Structure 1
């Protein structure tokens, strides 16, 4: 299908030129997904989806318009191109839009070197169901688990072709397989639930269904008897499962679109310290066998490894071509887009420098405080960095887990919080975002 899509995008661009476009680019995607969910050892739901879609962006001078369609016939694409050009004529002018110059384009035109495609045979629905049942059975075997809310397994693949009238055409494809389980412990108003799951590009890397189900069950049971945390100022340890959200707020604040709007709490921090001196945030879109990898961005620029934060200093923004032009800078090759939208800045694979201490070491260091394993809701002020989130997890006394807590709120300011993070050494290396557990001392907690 990918080869057909290469020809398809070329034909669509030709239709765009004939319709009057000065420039155009196209994104074509196709894929398939099979999902199996079980309950009580029996099939609860089976879904199979297959689809292909193509998107077109046309530019007339400094005006642009985007359209998309799942009708891939030539007559439909010709009409699609004409409609896009008509829309562009009515669009407002944007002095910053435009395709990349040919000398900016990536020489790498496919993603095969990134090992994102598993060539082994796709699992049958029966094999997926077997994994889901095994996860459910393992969860139910944990003492205290009363039911399994859901257990399932999925498999899918997708392929993408990007082409433009500046001469670029590239492609990449990826597969994925996932197993997950959500267990419930207790009964009535005292029920608690928790989950576990794993998703990998290559099936051989996936953790066993038994391990996933067992961990989901153990986590649910450990939450029984949760009470609200005390109100006051305490140390907070963000578990590795949710710690990446903190770095996610940093990445959102350095997104070129937010910087160009002036709506970022880090807008005045370029070249300044935003993390402790020993810490860096590295983006590496060329990491092999990783879900966030890509050889080029959706504007055809070569992706590369870069230090977003180096030894605590913020080195640059995350930019596509348009946001870079607005800010008088060069693109960082971070353009992402859907089939029906223009490019916008986005980050790929991210890694925060790990510490030398284990999570248990940080628990001992924090003494008394809140180990947060789940975050609920969000009140984040993007302009000021004010932070407030609902949280649950475990109360820590004398460096040891004391009892589960829920319905608490943690609050602070992200500028201050980021400067005081203390990382553990427990990050999962296969994830697209590699962030260990993070300790932040002296935060506000609201509870009972």
Structure 2
């Protein structure tokens, strides 16, 4: 599969992209791709960095690079200059395409773009062997790192999804993709739903303000038939449930942190005829590794069926870490996750990096957080270690009683996993993708 072939069977007059303020047809996309080639591409095989806040414009630039097999890096717009320079140097990338103005109108062209060469890298510039896509992954700690995926890896993943009908809910949808396209989850969802001949709905800018404007738009609320997002996004959606309702919603997709039963229950009460999917993946792999699909809370197995492109091993000598192999080569990726794999079903227990060491005990903050959330007086929770003590920050509901919570935790947790301090806070610190920050 050539990735650009995902677009070639679509009618030019058909809408491909929709934001809160504009829509874009395939004809506009195809014209932009041709103009982009004339303006920015030459015969060299230099790596291109795309630093573009306007997400519709970014999608057009992505497809321009994909069509011509140009390696590119998706650069978050909000990186500070020093970190950006360091990551570009690590990527051997010295050619940056960005916007002339921070704000771009609903109608745009290649004339809204500009480019520049980064300094001090021309002599040491190296190219990568295969056409690749680079992501700046923040992970749980928020410390950015550069991840490369080759075009070939992405194409194999999409071929496997298609041949095994692995994600049928992606077909013929009007999908609202809330993760920013500079993150691997947002980018993968863009390709997966494009594979399914769906229309893509995205916020016009990579900002939480723009996401809110998008979901607050009445036209979008009627249009969207599927949503992809992290748990934190859906929790915020529930806060505004009296103002925001997607009247034609058919599917809700999750990525990122674990999905708690209380969140699913609340969503089911509002959208009682939708299907659900929870995806398992890591930044080092370009698409979904495993999928948990269900139509009701009762048939949620909380385990993942593995895409046949991949094979799973559990490294028992290394804290039961999950290892992922491509089935057609020897590439193996240590995921950093802890899990159990039986009957082609993967159950995620925790993440190695998130384990806390408190008073000599190894404690799972996710398990403690889940237990606190099971006590239905709590809206949000963050568990972390400080000065060899276990601390819990909570955002309580109005009916919260601290004494009742403490008694509940004593009945559910071993003594060493009981928080030494429980503090009420107004906000929980998170990464740019909505994950709880651990460090």
If the length of structure 1 is used for normalisation, what is the TM-score?
0.31
Give the helix-richer structure, 1 or 2: 2
Highest CA radius of gyration, 1 or 2? Answer: 1
Give the strand-richer structure, 1 or 2: 1
More RCO (CA 8 Å, sep 6+): 1
If the length of structure 2 is used for normalisation, what is the TM-score?
0.32
